[in-house]
Structure 1
Amino acid sequence: MAQRFGGRYSPGGSAGKTSGGEAGAARLRPSFGQPVRGRGRRNLLYLAPLPLLVTAFRQDAVGMAVDLAAAGVMAGSVFVLSDGLRAEDAYRERKVARKPAVPRKIVSAVGMGLGVFLAAFAPEVPALIEPALYGLIAVALMLATFGLDPLRDKGVSSDGFQSERVARAVDEAEAHLEAMGLAIHRAGDRALERRVEAFQTTARQMFRTVEEDPRDLPSARKFLGVYLVGARDATVKFADLYSRTADAQAKADYIALLDDLESNFAAKTVKLMESDRTDLDIEIEVLRERLTREGVKPME
């Protein structure tokens, strides 16, 4: 018999059913599933190696090897570029982010230049200047089209301690969300995938709120850690079960769990925002009192 996918790692359902949580969810739910920037231009690059696969088999062994190597390097460069674009999108979305450990877009540009060099190289006429020029032009065009990778950290304070804690907590939370997405894909139900994406969007709103004010991290740590771990584990178990049995009751229970989680995450995010506003009001009031004691009056 199917059981509800809740328990010790799920927030209480009653909190998520408050009007504040529902209102928060409505305000905080932006569009999701946006395509990676530059995807159309990137997809065109997949066509670049195709002519080499045709010409390779019209040459001798050396020429065929060079053309096939060029096609492989160019195709690999496009895959690296895809990873670089995704990493850049994640970097742009977050308030606090480390620069990518590997500058994938730059690596992709160099790889594409190498592929063009090999494609232009003629073994029977071992001239290097013209192929090298073509390769350099390809590198320049790749960088001009897709730009450079982020080369500096963003939102990291001078001491870096608190920002590092937030960045590490958000990285771990993002890993849990990614694991949820990979798991639900195994269920083979597009509607469930969209439902998980909606929850991921709501959860990431909390991530952005914590990044904007690292003081919120202690209050949100249970949501970023314990609850997301529970959601990930429940998703893995549900996907394994549903892919085998297509149990309708299990699906309904899992959707109910996502509803509870999303409502609680939205309500907590609204509460964090309200707390930030309260802190600001207190600081303003304290400053006004100090100015009054100093005999400074506001300008009319």
Structure 2
Amino acid sequence: ESITRLIPTDNGEITGGEIIFDGTDLTDCTASELTEYRGNRIAHVFQNPQGALDDVYTVGEQVVETVRAHRDLDREAAREEAIDLLDRVGIPDAADRIDDYPHSFSGGMKQRVVLAIALAGDPDLLIADEPTTALDVTIQAQILRLLAEIQDERGMGLLFVTHDLGVVAEIADRVVVMYAGKVMETGEVYELFENPAHPYTRALLDCLPGHGEAFDTIDGSTPDPTDPPDGCRFHPRCDHAVEDCRSGEQPAFHPVGDDHDAACVLYGDDHQPPLSFPDKHDD
């Protein structure tokens, strides 16, 4: 919502930074200019498909409305396009089900309808915000495969927001690890999983369960976003924190590998970088 400036102003506002999309800073765009990006260039799929659909209207009416908002089509042509979209996202008997209401669809099918609506404007970038969290693992895998197929077919970018590292490993090419609103580490997915540099990234990976093993957890709790700690926001929960972590601004990024960077003072000039962390399985 922040990227396309959909967040309600009474809930928050953008106070600094840039949002660069295809060379344009979206924070400088007027409201009318942003309408050219929303849906046409950038589309969203949100975590709760029920909240994205209106039970008063059929799924067809909702897809058709979106198609006509982005394309110069009459209602009949837009309906045919809507059927094609519903069919492409895996709605069985799309030509018949287009006149059904959202309540008659399962959670996984509703998410497919929401995806069809998002694709109606043929976006260059699809932002998928926790789109599989509420789904069981079988349906989750189907949605992930569908997203990968459509991304490949259309050549669009996919920004996938998730807390599920298993999903990250399956779908991502590049990973940005965030904590309390700040980027901790960035890198290619294989490099980051094989050689995690930031203590937070390593702690996350250590929380992944192994066969027959107890779950690991990260001690402490996430800070209040309205009153974050000074320095690195992870330092109150970090086993490797030093004094420099506890003051000043968020640490700068340091290269830790090929196209791999971490925002950690332990990789700065004044510190010996912890190139390897104790493995939780060593003992």
**Normalising TM by the smaller chain, what interval?**
under 0.3
Larger Rg: 1
TM-score between both structures, scaled by the size of structure 1: 0.26
Q: Which has the higher contact order (CA 8 A, sep 6+)?
A: 1
Report which of the two has the higher share of helix: 1
